[in-house]
Structures are given as C-alpha cells and as structure tokens.
Amino acid sequence: MRVFANRPRWQRWLLWGGISAFALLVLAQAVPYGRNHSNPPVTKEPAWDSPRTRALAVRACYDCHSNETKWLWYSNIAPVSWLVQRDVDGGRSALNFSEWDKPQDVSSGDIAEAIRGGMPPWFYTVIHRNAALNATEKNQLISGLNATFAKSPPIGGGG
C-alpha cells in the first residue's frame, strides 16, 4: 500500500498495529455476551429502616445489586460491555435488593465488610462520582443495612 511505502519501519508497525486493534474492536462487537440488558421486575424490596438508608443504597449499590440497573452507553460496547454484564450478574446473584423474597447469599456482616473493604469499587466511582461514599455515609449505610436486615431479613438467612 502506498500509505506505508515511504515510512520508517516503526511507523509501519504502528499503523498496522492500530489497524489490527481497530479490527479486533469491531470484531468484538459480534460477541453476543454483554448486551443482555434486562431489568427483571422488582418482586419485593426490603422493609428499609429509613428513607436515608434506601437513598444511600440506591446511590451506591443499585446499579449492580438490584433489578433497576441504569445501562449507560458504554455498556453496549465490547469489551467494556462484557465487564459490566459480569459485574451486574455477579452483584445480583450475591445480593439483590429487588428480589428480597428470594434467598440472598450474604449477611449484614458480609455487607458491612464489603462496604468497608471498598464497595462500590473504585473503577465504578470514577465514572459514577455520585456513588462514592464518604466515611460518614459508609457508616450510615452500614448501620442502616444492619437495622434493615434485623427488621426485614432476606429469605434463607442474612441475619
């Protein structure tokens, strides 16, 4: 090709690398995983201890731990769509605030440990700045979720 003819070797490699990366990105769009952006119906929410606890949970947790996920534009572009789908599927299977009438795989202690340990994850809060909780909000959420679990434990444990 004429575009490559009079260029130094490193520029030819760089151009071919860019073209190859673009082709792989286009080809990745054909993989069907990561675009099943369903939000099943909400069957039952917990009996929240307070509106503040629910508001904090919605703000920081609901995109991965409920059936009310907001699927933003980047969640349709592979390979990011694969990561988003994996995180939502994993989050919903461990704890789903929208299906409180089904067994949950966590206890209030597990949730407190996860929140103290970095939930929501840093890579999520980079894009969703509103989801980042300060120390006071984390303590309020943990306290509120402990009270919510005591008042309205999920089926199959969670106490």
pLDDT-based confidence at residue 130 (cuts at 50, 70, 90) = very high
Q: Return phi, psi of residue 127, to 5°.
A: -90, -35
Q: Specify whether the CB–CB gap between 103 and 156 falls below 8 A.
A: yes
Paired with 99 in beta bridges are 44
Mean of pLDDT values over 27-40? 75
CA–CA distances in Å: residue 157 to residues 23, 52, 77, 117, 129: 49, 24, 37, 22, 32
pLDDT, tens digit, for every residue of 68-101? Answer: 999 998 888 888 888 899 999 999 999 999 999 9
Least confident residue range of 13-22, 51-60, 87-96, 115-124: 13-22
Q: What is the DSSP string of 69-90?
A: ----GGGGSTTHHHHHHHHHHH
Q: Tell me: the pLDDT tens digits for 111-124?
A: 999 999 989 999 99
Of 14-18, 22-26, 77-81, the range with the lowest mean pLDDT is 22-26
Residue 159 has pLDDT above 50, yes or no: no
